[in-house]
Amino acid sequence: MNTLPVIYTERFLEHDTGPWHPERPERLVAVVEHLRAAPFSSRLIWREPRAASPEQLGWIHDASLIKTVEAASKKGGGALDPDTIVSPLSFDVALLAAGGWLDGVDAVLSNNEPAWVLARPPGHHAERDRAMGFCLFSNAALAAHYALRVHHLERVAVLDWDVHHGNGTQQLCWSEPRLAYVSLHQSPQYPGTGHTGETGGSGNVLNVPLPAGSDRSTYQRAFTKQIWPFLERFEAQLLIVSAGFDAHSADPLAEMCLQASDYGEFARQCLNYTRRVLFGLEGGYDLDALAASVLAVTEACLQPI
């Protein structure tokens, strides 16, 4: 009976965004409570993350951004922009979040089986020199570069199904032909990037903007006609999924119509592409919908091959 590594620490709850912020600690509390109560809970292998080093963050981020986040935390926190909050412990927690994604890469490549990273703050909006959109550092992009640098892979793909386009991940994969970035996202929506003409420095980026109200059938057409053919041509040795769940019909920040079971189906398709899949949490702001969607993906990972 297969098991699933889940990288998580309660320290992720110490990133305090304030009582009214959508990206709040209760998101992870809800997810973890549901996972621990699930019938398959004994098959989850919980692991504490390491902290990424500032040197590792420097592979993708300017030193000025790293220093800005650290200084803001040391001063007691504040707003880096209207959406992106830093609290006194946020810098340390963000290092743990980034390190958790690196641990996830290690786990997937050591077992040739999937793993989950349940971390916050999320990362896919963070650009080379700017924190934005609730994100401090670009976790998925760092994990992809880590797989190239440390594990010496030749081709790594990032699939981003968060409802918002991952402008930061795209920027940080754009000029590296060994990385592919694929995003399906609501358009128009924050942050306003992700148009079909954005194709990367070597055709290594695929954007699939979808209209508000899109449901499973619309997403499935995109997967069948565009995403899987693109990824089959790329032949990734590792697939990193920026798993945001804010395209769920119950989510307050978007207008899509997915259900929790749809995410389970998308995860099964990822695992049919390769068993080397790292799922990492991005968005999802309705607590019940988020927890149910994470459970659906987790069940897909635990199904027999």
For the chain, what are the domain ranges? 4-302
Is residue 208 scored above 80 in pLDDT?
A: yes
13 and 25 Cβ atoms separated by less than 8 Å:
yes
Calpha distance 185→219 (Å, rounded): 10
- Give the model's confidence band at 305: pLDDT under 50 very low, under 70 low, under 90 confident, else very high: confident
pLDDT digits (tens, 9 = 90+) for 195-205: 999 999 999 99
pLDDT digits (tens, 9 = 90+) for 77-99: 999 999 999 999 999 999 999 99
For range 95-118, the mean pLDDT: 98
Q: Is 125 noted as a catalytic residue in this protein?
A: yes
pLDDT of residue 1: 76
pLDDT of residue 172: 98
pLDDT of residue 115: 98
Calpha distance 40→80 (Å, rounded): 40
Task: Kindly tell me the sign of the dihedral angle through the C-alpha atoms of 111, 113, 116, 117.
Answer: positive
Task: Report cis status (omega within 30 of 0) of the bond before 229.
Answer: no
Q: State the burial class of residue 299 (Cβ atoms within 10 Å of its Cβ: 0-12, 13-18, 19+).
A: middle
pLDDT of residue 304: 84
**Residues linked to residue 7 through DSSP beta bridges, in sequence order:** 47, 117
- Give the model's confidence band at 190: pLDDT under 50 very low, under 70 low, under 90 confident, else very high: very high
pLDDT digits (tens, 9 = 90+) for 27-65: 999 999 999 999 999 999 999 999 999 999 999 999 999
pLDDT digits (tens, 9 = 90+) for 128-147: 999 999 999 999 999 999 99
Tokens of 48: 């504490």
Quick one: fold of 4-302? Arginase; Chain A (3.40.800)
Task: Report cis status (omega within 30 of 0) of the bond before 122.
Answer: no
pLDDT of residue 43: 98
Question: SS3 string of 35-78?
Answer: HHHCCCHHHEEEECCCCCCHHHHCCCCCHHHHHHHHHHHHCCCE
Which residue among the candidates 15, 124, 125, 165 is catalytic per the annotation? 125
| Mean pLDDT, rounded, of the chain | 98
